[in-house]
């Protein structure tokens, strides 16, 4: 894993400032603590910070060029099938100077251009300068595991793994994009290709961007997950194929010249990864888990069960309320406002793992592949509303809403939320269900100026477009596809990438291997969601490898006891941050509506912790990136 960055002036006679490239490397040093490099040739400059995983020798130094010096690349990630590709290229007469995957990718690009992206297995983001075409190419892996941000104006283009790598350039504005902030308050993250910073964009997963020396920009897609045609096979055949596919995906991710381990939550996905790792390595796997003092959020006993079953070298950490002291540090690393509170335990988990290993496998994407969230089941159930006559819908809705409120995460409260949207179109209903700050709350919370600035765009359209891109009439598959296009790359993968890279740790995710994702997509939807049984085929395939008690227990998720923290250890921070002078002068929110949210949560009248956490992280982001003095290019 690495940090990458670069700058291009469209005026050939204007040289890129070397101090800017050096500053880019400094601000991304956490992503690559082992080495740094710069390629500087007139109007183009590339920067690189290296975390050495494969070929630890100086031969892996980047930026790297082809033999003719006409192609230069700064690469972040891992190409897992590079040994096979290398053999193919060597048989065609290509000579290599190193044993890196970067050099293999560069040679493959030289022969095939963008078509080579469909041939590589892995997670990656890279910037490639083609001197002959005078074109800068930015590319990102299929699922969006590795991040890549860019900025283009009339005179220049810049890119970096993180926005802060771009903002070291004083010629790039560092201002908030209020439309993106509105989207953030809807989803808890800023959806791709938007950025919280005005003028910045993200390269979408499965895409590459070509920026010509003239300033023209072209965005192209090279991969899309297809949910049809469906495979026709028995469950036994599906289980056999799935086990073989996942085993191969894990085998690919065991290639490294440094110590490896695994995150272990005690859930189905990470348990399956550890089980197959133990089988493939033949020795004890180093495993890492975090938990909480609150039993409702603590999965450590389940993780220990798997650790004992496979005799792993197990390490644990308990996250306590005083851990919120690291919030400013987390805000700095995440670059954009980010409301997934599980970033906190993920940050500590990465720090724990890095003390023992350099690479850690995890179980990310299992729920999006195989329908593991309770919301998928509930959403599927609500389709029965759509065939009911309207008077019956209204009567049932009123009856359910009249019931006493349940606990925030209870089934009753989830059903109540669904009933609020019972009359809404199916896909829009799901979009509203996953919203953090729903439209009705925004109407009270937003100031007139903020409401006016964001009135022309509906944030729910992001998820509705993702639904359409899934291109399937099956509601379960379409919903999985919508989350694969939004929640997975913009929340889950961002969370792990930033937390792990903050500590110089490489996180690998076998369940986002595109072979695994493509197999899961073309399985019949009732193989994934069958009645109350979520992840049906995956759990059946893992039977015997993972204890039945873990396969059958309700999904707990990587939750954090934020509701209680906001009433106690974080209460002072909430008051000082949300009602402080800077927030008041910003004028985005109505103070009376904000006070109501805080007071009702304090008294336990309503559970507003998702909204309050999102608002708190937003204001901390403003304080760190918008209000604070700009980063200097000097050392």
Residue 515, C-beta contacts closer than 8 angstroms, at least 6 positions apart: 121, 245, 248, 249
Assigned token pair, 154: 């009339």
d(CA 212, CA 159): 14
Residues near 252 by beta carbon (within 8 Å), at least 6 away in sequence: 80, 81, 121, 510, 513
In angstroms, the CA 385 to CA 400 distance is 13
In whole angstroms, what is the distance from residue 26 CA to residue 19 CA? Answer: 10
Nearest to 252, CA basis, from 120, 61, 349, 369? 120
CA 290 to chain centre: 20
Give the pair of three-digit tokens for residue 569: 């250890």
Q: Which two tokens stand for residue 458?
A: 């509906």
Measured in whole angstroms, the distance separating CA 523 from the mean position of its chain's CA atoms is: 24
Between vectors from CA 582 to CA 576 and to CA 588, what angle results, nearest 5°? Answer: 105
| Nearest-angstrom CA–CA distance, 567 and 454 | 31
Sequence-ordered strand ranges (E) for 320-392? 359-361
Cα–Cα distances in angstroms (integers) from residue 342 to residues 37, 222, 295, 559, 561, in the given order: 34, 32, 16, 6, 10
**In whole angstroms, what is the distance from residue 503 CA to residue 288 CA?**
15
Q: Is 199 left (phi over 0), alpha (psi -120 to 50) or beta?
A: left
- How many angstroms separate the Cα of 81 from the Cα of each of 97, 247, 512, 608? 18, 15, 15, 47
Whether 2 is a known active-site residue: answer: yes
Q: Report how far Cα 79 is from the mean position of its chain's Cα atoms.
A: 19
Taking the C-alpha atoms of residue 509 and residue 515, their distance in angstroms, rounded to an integer, is 12
Contact in structure between 225 and 517 (CB atoms under 8 Å): yes
Residue among 2, 116, 239, 245 flagged as catalytic: 2
Closest to 438 in 3D by CA, of 619, 190, 182:
182
Kindly give, in sequence order, each residue whose CB lies less than 8 Å from that of residue 270, ignoring residues fewer than 6 positions away: 262, 263, 264, 303, 362, 363
Question: What distance in Å separates the CA atoms of residue 379 and residue 368, rounded to the nearest whole number?
Answer: 14
DSSP string, 135-178: EEEEEE-SS--S--EEEE-SSEEEEESSHHHHTTSTTS---B-H
CA–CA gap between residue 432 and residue 436 (Å, rounded): 9
Catalytic residues: 2
């Amino acid at each position: 894993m690495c940090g990458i960055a670069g700058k291009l002036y469209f005026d050939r006679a204007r040289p890129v400032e070397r101090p800017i490239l050096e500053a880019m490397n400094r601000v991304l040093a956490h992503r690559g603590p082992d080495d740094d490099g710069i390629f500087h040739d007139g109007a183009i400059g590339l920067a690189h910070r290296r975390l050495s995983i494969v070929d630890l020798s100086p031969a892996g130094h980047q930026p790297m060029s082809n033999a003719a010096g006409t192609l230069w690349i700064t690469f972040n990630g891992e190409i897992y099938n590079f040994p096979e590709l290398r053999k193919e290229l060597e048989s065609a007469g290509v000579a290599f100077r190193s044993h890196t995957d970067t050099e293999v990718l560069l040679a493959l690009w030289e022969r095939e251009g963008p078509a080579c992206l469909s041939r590589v297995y892995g997670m990656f983001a890279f910037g490639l300068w083609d001197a002959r075409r005078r074109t800068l190419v930015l590319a990102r892996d299929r699922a969006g595991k590795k991040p890549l941000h860019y900025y283009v104006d009339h005179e220049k283009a810049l890119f970096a793994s993180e926005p802060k790598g771009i903002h070291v350039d004083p010629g790039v504005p560092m201002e908030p994009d209020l439309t993106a902030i509105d989207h953030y308050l809807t989803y808890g993250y800023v959806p791709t290709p938007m950025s919280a910073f005005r003028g910045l964009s993200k390269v979408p997963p499965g895409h590459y961007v070509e920026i010509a020396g003239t300033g023209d920009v072209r965005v192209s897609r090279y991969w899309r997950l297809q949910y049809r045609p469906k495979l026709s096979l028995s469950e036994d055949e599906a289980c056999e194929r799935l086990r073989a596919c996942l085993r191969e995906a894990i085998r690919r991710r065991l290639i490294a010249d440094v110590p490896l381990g695994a995150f272990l939550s005690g859930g189905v996905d990470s348990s399956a990864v550890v089980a197959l790792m133990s089988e493939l390595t033949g020795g004890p796997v180093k495993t890492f888990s975090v938990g909480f003092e609150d039993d409702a959020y603590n999965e450590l006993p389940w993780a220990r069960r798997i650790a004992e079953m496979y005799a792993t070298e197990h390490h644990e950490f308990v996250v306590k309320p005083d851990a919120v002291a690291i919030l400013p540090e987390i805000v700095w690393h995440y670059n954009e406002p980010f409301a997934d509170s599980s970033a906190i335990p993920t940050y500590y988990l990465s720090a724990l793992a890095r003390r023992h290993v350099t690479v850690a496998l995890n179980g990310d994407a299992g729920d999006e592949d195989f329908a593991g969230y309770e919301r998928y089941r509930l959403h599927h159930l609500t389709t029965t509303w759509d065939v009911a006559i309207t008077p019956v819908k209204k009567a049932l809705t009123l009856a359910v809403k009249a019931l006493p409120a349940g606990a925030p995460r209870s089934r009753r409260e989830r059903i109540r939320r669904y009933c609020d949207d019972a009359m809404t179109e199916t896909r829009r209903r799901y979009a509203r269900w996953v919203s953090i700050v729903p439209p009705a709350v925004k109407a009270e919370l937003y100031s007139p100026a903020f409401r006016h600035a964001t009135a022309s765009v509906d944030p729910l359209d992001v998820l509705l477009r993702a639904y359409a891109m899934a291109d399937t009439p099956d509601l379960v598959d379409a919903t999985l596809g919508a989350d694969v296009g939004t929640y997975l790359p913009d929340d889950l993968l961002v969370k792990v990438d930033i937390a792990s890279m903050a500590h110089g740790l490489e996180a690998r995710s076998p369940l986002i291997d595109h072979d695994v994702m493509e197999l899961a997509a073309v399985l019949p939807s009732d193989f994934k969601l069958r009645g109350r049984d979520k992840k049906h085929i995956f759990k059946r395939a893992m039977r015997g490898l993972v204890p039945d008690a873990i396969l059958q227990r309700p999904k707990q998720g990587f939750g954090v006891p934020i509701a209680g923290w906001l009433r106690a250890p974080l209460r002072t921070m909430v008051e000082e941050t949300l009602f402080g002078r800077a927030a008041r002068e910003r004028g985005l929110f109505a103070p009376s509506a904000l006070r109501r949210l805080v007071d009702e949560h304090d008294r336990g009248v309503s559970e507003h912790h998702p909204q309050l956490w999102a608002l708190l992280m937003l204001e901390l982001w403003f304080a760190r990136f918008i209000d604070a003095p700009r980063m200097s290019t000097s050392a």
